[in-house]
Amino acid sequence: MSGDGRTGRGRPRRRRPGKGDTGAAAAGGDGGEGKAFEIVRELEVEGSPARLWAALTTGTGGWLWPMEYEPREGGAAPSGGTVTRWDPPHRLTARVEDPDGIPGQTLNELDHVIEPRDGGRRSWLRHVHSGIFTGDRDTQYDGAVKHTDFYLHSLGQYMAYFEGRPVAYSALHGPRASTAPDAFVRLARALGLPDDATDGARVRVQAAGGELDAVIDFRSRYFIGLRADETLHRFYGRNHFGAPVGVSVHDFGAHADAKGTELAWQDWLDHLYG
């Protein structure tokens, strides 16, 4: 595992919840109608607290997916949730209590605490994701933990290389055949990634629409992150969790075409798994 989670280019540090932590227990627990969970991460990223706040509230299309918050306590939050703490640029908390809002959960909460570092040139983030799972808790928790680490790594990449730039966001998933156990391995080989290519390697991949020169900014058996001059490409091995593989593209280029990118990658995936 490369990076120490402090540079904005590495990976977030895991932290076991302490005595003063709020939310559900990290190891599970009785949530009434399901099992409670809590995932706690801490990391430092490039940029001031104000810029990190913008990335978490209005710039999510640059590293996660587009979301909207009504900027006040009691305001609307993503997935039918409610803003329960709005204190820019220090703390943001949003809570979803609608069982239909997020499949497989009866409660979902995201809490972010931000502090300045290095004279305000960098920011420290404490990210807590908690709630109650209603299905296969072990699989859901494992998937949530792994996705959290990848998403927060992508946040660090965005803050270090693309923060504040307009973005065209595309996301899609493969056909049913991409749920096979070897589906993500097939995707990596179709891209032309050597099996031993790891974080930091410069590669030329066979992407939708032609060759792409990029740096591998993240690689595990579950995810691949590629950073090019004007794009972040994220590949999700969700076949490990019973779902199709996924692709998202964050395009910061002047002539970005979100729909065209989506169609090109959908065709690429359909041919790969067809």
Q: What is the pLDDT of residue 78?
A: 95
| pLDDT of 33 over the 90 cut | no
Taking the C-alpha atoms of residue 219 and residue 187, their distance in angstroms, rounded to an integer, is 13
- Mean pLDDT over 100-111 rounds to 87
Taking the C-alpha atoms of residue 65 and residue 86, their distance in angstroms, rounded to an integer, is 20
**CA nearest neighbour of 157 among 235, 242, 234:** 234
Do 167 and 62 touch, CB atoms closer than 8 A? yes
What is the value of pTM for the model shown? 0.89
List, as one string, the DSSP characters of 125-178: EEEEEEEEE-S-HHHHHHHHHHHHHHHHHHHHHHHHHTTT---EEEEEE--GGG
Round to the nearest angstrom and report the end-to-end CA distance of the chain: 33
How many Cα atoms are found within 13 Å in the side-chain-facing hemisphere of 160? Answer: 19
| Residue 135 pLDDT level (bands cut at 50, 70, 90) | confident
Q: Which residue has the higher pLDDT, 32 or 208?
A: 208
Taking the C-alpha atoms of residue 228 and residue 234, their distance in angstroms, rounded to an integer, is 11
Do 239 and 184 touch, CB atoms closer than 8 A? yes
| Residue 15 pLDDT level (bands cut at 50, 70, 90) | low
